[in-house]
Amino acid sequence: TYGTSIGYGYIHKANQKITLSTRATAHLMRYENTFSTDNALSFIIGKFLDGRAVNVSAWSAIIQPSVKAKYTQPTNWGKWHVSSTLNSFIGRSWGSANNGNIGNPKGWYLSNEVTGYYNIYHGKQALFSGIKRVDLSRDLNNELGSPH
C-alpha cells in the first residue's frame, strides 16, 4: 500500500488560548497484493480468494475536509491542550479487487483529544502524552461494527 496527499489548511487564532482551523486534503492511494502457493491447502485457498482478496489491486482518490477547535493552556511545566476535530471524506475507488466491486469511501468521524506537553531542555524539546477518542458516523459504525 502506498499513497500521496496534498492539502491546504488555515489556522485562525481567536485569542491566546483558542484556535480554529480548517483543512482540505486530497489523497491518492494504491493497494496491491500478490499471493503465491507452495502447498495444496494454500493452493485451494488461493483459488477461492484469487481476484477477490489476493492478486488484486485497487486505487482510491479521496477528498477530506475538516474543521478543528483547540484550547491550549500554558503551565509552569509546559502546556496541555484539548481539541475536537470533525473530519468528513468522500472518494472514488477503482481496480480489480473484489472483482471490481470496490465501493466508494464516504463518511465522517469526530476526534476528541487531550494532550499534555512537558518541557525539557529549557523548552526546546518536549515529552508528550495524550488520550484520544474517535467517534464514527453511523455508516462507518455499521461497516466496522463499532462506534469508536
Whole-angstrom distance, CA of residue 72 vs CA of residue 70: 7
The pLDDT value recorded for residue 73 is 98
Of 47 and 21, which is predicted with more confidence? 21
Whole-angstrom distance, CA of residue 77 vs CA of residue 118: 6
Number of domains in the chain: 1
What is the domain range of residue 39? 2-144
Q: 3-42 as b/e, with b when 16 or more CB fall inside 10 Å?
A: eeeeeeeeeeeeeeeebebebebebebebeeeeeeeeeee
Tell me which residue of 51, 36, 61 sits closest to 97, measured CA to CA. Answer: 51
- What are the angstrom distances between the C-alpha of 116 and each of 20, 81, 83, 90, 113? 19, 7, 12, 32, 10
Q: What is the pTM of this model?
A: 0.78
Whole-angstrom distance, CA of residue 66 vs CA of residue 11: 12
The pLDDT value recorded for residue 64 is 98
Average pLDDT, the chain: 90
Give percent of the chain with pLDDT exceeding 70. Answer: 95
The pLDDT value recorded for residue 141 is 67
The pLDDT value recorded for residue 70 is 98
- What are the angstrom distances between the C-alpha of 138 and each of 63, 84, 89? 19, 19, 14
Q: By mean pLDDT, which of 16-20, 31-35, 67-71, 91-95 is the weakest?
A: 31-35
